[in-house]
Amino acid sequence: MNPLNIYIHIPFCFAKCPYCAFFSCTNCEDTYDEYFNTLNREILTKSKLYKDREIQTIYIGGGTPNLVPYKYIVECIENIKKNFQLSKDIEITIEQYPQYITKESLEAYQAVGINRISIGLQATDDTQLQQLSRRYTYEEFIEKYNLVKEVGFNDIGIDLIFGYPNQTLIQWKRTLELVTALDIQHISCYSLEVEEGTPYGKLNEQGKLGLPSEVLDREMYHYACKYLNENGFKQYEISNFAKEGYECKHNLNFWHYQDYIGLGAGAYSRVDNTKSHNPEDIQKYIQGEWDIEKETTTPRDEEIEKLMLGLRLNEGIKYDENIFQKEYMVRVKERMVLNTEGKDMYNKVVQKVV
């Protein structure tokens, strides 16, 4: 059966983080009912279109999915289970903001079939957490992590940011020491990207952000790759590390160019060589504007995107002497993969490939 993956966007946040450029809405509690009624209507509509497809993964992201009452999430998953064909070993992930983790919500998530938790920790130093506008301390995070373990989740991922203002290599090393001491299975390490229009973007334009140098940023990345691999977290993608067998299936399926549908305001889809997205506007979404700006991809577009996505993976892509770049790649049997410099220069490598 032809596989399909589902991404559900929950766009609600208590406040915008200063570095975030994702679509989200603050102070929108009065739209929860309408939004989730629409989301469930979209689930039913899409299920009729893809009734012959088997759902491999479901990923609930945001925004802040656990800001909303868990009953809404439970209803969505029940609706999907009722109307789609799900793989018997489906992975269902939900992102969690530490401050809003509760035992009651975790138990409800588990009961409905959610089996993977991704916690947005970002940093372990309380001063840096405050600077990043994260509303918890590391000690509070540990309390919430312990709740996740107590409820019985055994597939837990942690997101970290490095290269943020005033960060030192010593702080980064300490962060990695702390998180690898936990009983977690997956770690994502993202270099801070300063996006235009965000508070950090505006400060950066004014020369007031205080970012680490590019040399230090790369030193942090290289240290993470070495340290995590030495401590049981195998790198399988440029920014992602996992214990054996705990790679994020949802992201792997995306990088392997499997089809996916996006549900909710601002969510993107790519199915049967057609790309579309829902508007980044809650009211337009509620009014039924779905799958706008449909675009059919050409075979060449598909080839380029497969190359771009595949090169992010440590398994690389099939060897092709016409696009092999000796400076940035190594050949491993019949495949070619990025070397350390190639991962640093990913965008440059991709430009040459396409």
* Residue 143 placed within a domain: yes
DSSP 3-state of 345: coil
Core vs surface per residue 52-74: b (16+ CB within 10 A) or e: ebebbbbbbbbbbbbbbebebbb
User: What is the number of structural domains in the chain?
Assistant: 2
Contact 37, 71 (CB under 8 A): no
Residues 243 and 333 in one domain: no
Is the alpha carbon torsion for 65, 251, 165, 20 positive or negative? negative
Tell whether the model's pLDDT for residue 19 goes beyond 90: no
* Residue 269 placed within a domain: no
Q: What is the mean pLDDT of residues 183-198?
A: 91
Tell whether the model's pLDDT for residue 215 goes beyond 90: yes
Residues 250 and 322 in one domain: no
Instruction: Calculate the average pLDDT of the chain.
Output: 94
Contact 118, 157 (CB under 8 A): yes
Distance, in Å, from the CA atom of 235 to the CA atom of 186, rounded to the nearest integer, reads: 10
Q: What is the mean pLDDT of residues 100-109?
A: 98
Residues 114 and 193 in one domain: yes
Is the alpha carbon torsion for 8, 9, 12, 18 positive or negative? positive
Model pLDDT, residue 203: 83
Amino acid occupying residue 264: G
Which of 255, 276, 291 is where one domain is finished? 255
Residues 232 and 164 in one domain: yes
- DSSP, res 244: T
Residues 313 and 243 in one domain: no
Distance, in Å, from the CA atom of 179 to the CA atom of 167, rounded to the nearest integer, reads: 17
Residues 323 and 190 in one domain: no
Contact 108, 70 (CB under 8 A): yes
Residues 318 and 210 in one domain: no
Domain that holds residue 31: 3-255
Q: What is the mean pLDDT of residues 28-49?
A: 96
* Residue 274 placed within a domain: no
Bridge partner list, 330: 337
* Residue 268 placed within a domain: no
* Residue 77 placed within a domain: yes
Residues 191 and 339 in one domain: no
Residues 228 and 349 in one domain: no
Contact 104, 145 (CB under 8 A): no
* Residue 294 placed within a domain: no
Residues 131 and 234 in one domain: yes
Report pTM: 0.95
Residues 60 and 185 in one domain: yes
| Own/partner pairs, 20-25, CB within 8 angstroms, 24+ separation | 20/195, 20/198, 21/195, 21/196, 21/197, 21/198, 22/62, 22/63, 22/266, 23/63, 23/265, 23/266, 23/280, 24/62, 24/63, 24/64, 25/63, 25/282
* Residue 299 placed within a domain: no
Identify the CA nearest to 117 among candidates 81, 88, 141. Answer: 141
Domain with residue 120: its CATH number is 3.20.20.70
Phi, psi of 348 (to 5 degrees): -65, -40
- Residues 156-177 pLDDT 10s: 999 999 999 989 999 999 999 9
Amino acid occupying residue 334: E
- Residues 269-286 pLDDT 10s: 999 999 999 999 999 999
Model pLDDT, residue 65: 97
- Residue 15 pLDDT level (bands cut at 50, 70, 90): confident
Is the alpha carbon torsion for 189, 191, 192, 196 positive or negative? negative
Identify the CA nearest to 5 among candidates 51, 44, 56. Answer: 56
* Residue 264 placed within a domain: no
Phi, psi of 81 (to 5 degrees): -65, -35
Contact 262, 274 (CB under 8 A): no
Which of 239, 255, 271 is where one domain is finished? 255
Tell whether the model's pLDDT for residue 105 goes beyond 90: yes
DSSP 3-state of 312: helix
Tell whether the model's pLDDT for residue 322 goes beyond 80: yes
Residues 177 and 324 in one domain: no
Tell whether the model's pLDDT for residue 27 goes beyond 80: yes
